[in-house]
Amino acid sequence: MKTKNALFNGLFDLSGKVAVVTGATKGLGQAIAETLAYAGAQVAICSRNTNEAVMIGEAIANKSGQKCFGMGADMAKPAEINKLFTKVKQELGIVDILVANAGVTLRKETGKCTERDFSTTININLKGAFFSAKSVLPDMKNKKWGRIIFIGSIMSFIALPERSIYTASKAAIVGLTRAFALENAAHGICVNAICPGPFMTPTNFPILNDEKRYKMLLEKIPVGRFGETDEIRGLALYLSSPASSFTTGSCILIDGGWTAQ
């Protein structure tokens, strides 16, 4: 029988790996970036706000002892995505792990949505995820190892009023995950999606301050509360690590039981 240390040795160790986490200056993205650094990875932090990205990158580097840096990039623009990954390769090396977390939410009645609303949401949530993953695939294929994690939502599977465009963008992440997984499985690249329910993040602060809406959502969550950011860490680490080598094409819900009903 294997000893405890032999059983777990290396399964969740990211030493020597290079990771990119987009949308990583707050909320779930920041928690994921911290986790990967604590597990031994060198991490590039990306955000539309360059100053925030630099600040968070330095903070994670100081806490983890790993080489990390922050950089600004607009995930709606493929040219800026290419610039980001060129810089990461120069600074840290070939990307082993991509967490395409950058996204925007939109709470708006469908009849009041504009073409700009549609383009902004789809371009960041879907187009940004697609072109980020496309950028890292050639080197991952050459290396015969890679982890790509898209961030979906419970609304990849269900819907709520006033969320039509957002729901469409997150439903598309499921298809993207499965297609990328099938195309790249033979190359040692695992592609999965994390689909969170309501978490205590800045994105959801408007809901927390709206007593009626907050109560309505709580009634849908069997565990009776929103998730805490620390509760994303274990799943993110698993999907980024050697432990997930037989997991690909999965869209894993982490929602307090909401979608089990």
Alpha-helical runs (H) found in 95-203: 115-122, 128-143, 164-184
Cα–Cα distance measured from residue 93 to residue 80, given in angstroms and rounded to the nearest whole number:
18
Count, residues in the chain:
261
Of 63, 67, 72, the residue nearest 41 (C-alpha)? 67
Cα–Cα distance measured from residue 84 to residue 32, given in angstroms and rounded to the nearest whole number:
19
Of 209, 236, 220, the residue nearest 27 (C-alpha)? 236
Of 102, 127, 132, the residue nearest 23 (C-alpha)? 102
| 38 is annotated as an active-site residue | no
Cα–Cα distance measured from residue 177 to residue 208, given in angstroms and rounded to the nearest whole number:
31
Cα–Cα distance measured from residue 242 to residue 6, given in angstroms and rounded to the nearest whole number:
14
Catalytic residues: 166
